Amino acid sequence: MKHPKTIDRRQFFVRTAACSGALLIPDGLHASRHDGKLKLLSYNIWYGFTEKSERKGDWFKFMGQQAPDIVSLQELNDYTPEALARDARKWGHAHSVLLKEDGFPTGITSSQPTTEVKRMTEGFHHGLLSCKTHGIHVYAIHLHPSNWEIRLREVELLLKEVAKLPPNAKVVLVGDFNTFSPHDKAAYDQADDMIPFFKRLDIRTKGKNLRHGQLDYRHLKNLEEAGFVDLIHRKRKAFMGTFPTPLRADEEMGPDRRLDYIFANPNLAASCLTANCIVNETTGLLSDHQPVSASFDLAGRECVPSLLCACASLVDASIITSREREHQVEYGNKNIKESGKNHEGSPDGFIILGAVQHLTGCIDENEDTKNSDTTCNENAQKAYVQEHVQNRDTCKGEKQPHHQSFWR
């Protein structure tokens, strides 16, 4: 049997580094920013600038200054897909999707491609738009503006849609929810005109904002009971409303209230750095809603079994000895297991397998905790490989862990 050729330390490190790079690339795991940070922004732009259209130029300037990676927009009245794409390019986004071309459409724009686009109109007053971008499933939300019963059904349908996603999906629900958070109840209880305003509004518009004469907090409570996190509430120091703004100061719009939210599931919420309502003199004149924003650190990349297997194949083909060929790497959708013999007495094989495992950052040397969550610590992994490549002779006789587990 012909023995595979061995490689020197420099070749080994180059190949291992290349392999680790492959492990970190796919399917939106990289944000567009080099540091792994991602910024999300949501804005209800009020009637698609068909009212007080002179504000649009300042809005473009604001969006450019914000430099978001993902944008959720509501009330894109009179927009076409081409118009949204044209606007999105002004803040550097080459990718956009529009829910519809009538009524009050929502839209999503991104600096990376959008996939898995889904448009739903059945059961939703304004419709529901979703897509996947930057590795995140984004839902542009715009619930019914004046009926708590319809909003309750919309939330129920929304949760059913989200439940269809894989368990490891990162999900964000972002937009104008037109409803009230239980976390804001104390602020609303202190607003003397809150209930009287909605009583007048319901009479005037034949709406159903109040349930038994009170604000209904169940919509967002249901989201949180399903595991979603109100990111702005988690990060804020005090209550801040998003509606109304000074733009419509000449109309009776009621007390300050928070209608715009960013909800993330636990898979995404764990990486949230900041979340806030952007309220200043500029935004107060751009729309009747204030924008909301959140930032995330996506640098903790997930490991991809299929690419790890490809890396293992490279190792098997050109590096490890024939003795190591007897070692088989088994893998499936969820994990990769080491089986068979250990690698005592074979420093090359030990170094390579150890390097691959530690470069992924998904190694767990304790079988009892093999299903626990972990993320890839890139710097630590590279340091480990560098150390062992430079000192590979010290690996002789060191026992390879009998079992390693890997997961996404």
| Tens digits of residue pLDDT in 276-328 | 999 999 999 999 999 999 999 998 644 333 333 333 334 434 343 444 434 33
Best CA proximity match to 236, nearest among 194, 185, 183:
183
d(CA 171, CA 173) in angstroms, rounded, equals 7
**Which of the four pLDDT bands, split at 50, 70 and 90, describes residue 34?**
low
Contact present, 142 and 103 (Cβ < 8 Å): no
Residue 381 pLDDT > 80, yes or no? no
What ranges in 295-395 are assigned the alpha helix state H?
305-318, 322-325, 347-360, 378-390
- DSSP H or E stretch at residue 149: helix 148-162
Residue 365 pLDDT > 80, yes or no? no
Quote the pLDDT of residue 36. Answer: 85
d(CA 222, CA 323) in angstroms, rounded, equals 57
Domains and CATH numbers, the chain: 9-24+303-395 (no CATH), 37-297 (3.60.10.10)
Best CA proximity match to 130, nearest among 120, 145, 143:
120
User: Percent of the chain having pLDDT more than 70?
Assistant: 65
- Phi, psi (degrees; rounded to nearest 5) at 191: -90, 105
DSSP per-residue string spanning 129-143: EEEEETTEEEEEEE-
Quote the pLDDT of residue 175. Answer: 98
| Tens digits of residue pLDDT in 52-63 | 999 999 999 999
- Estimate the crossing angle of helix 347-360 against helix 305-318, to 10 degrees: 160
Distances 385 to 69, 337, 380 between C-alpha atoms, Å? 33, 20, 9
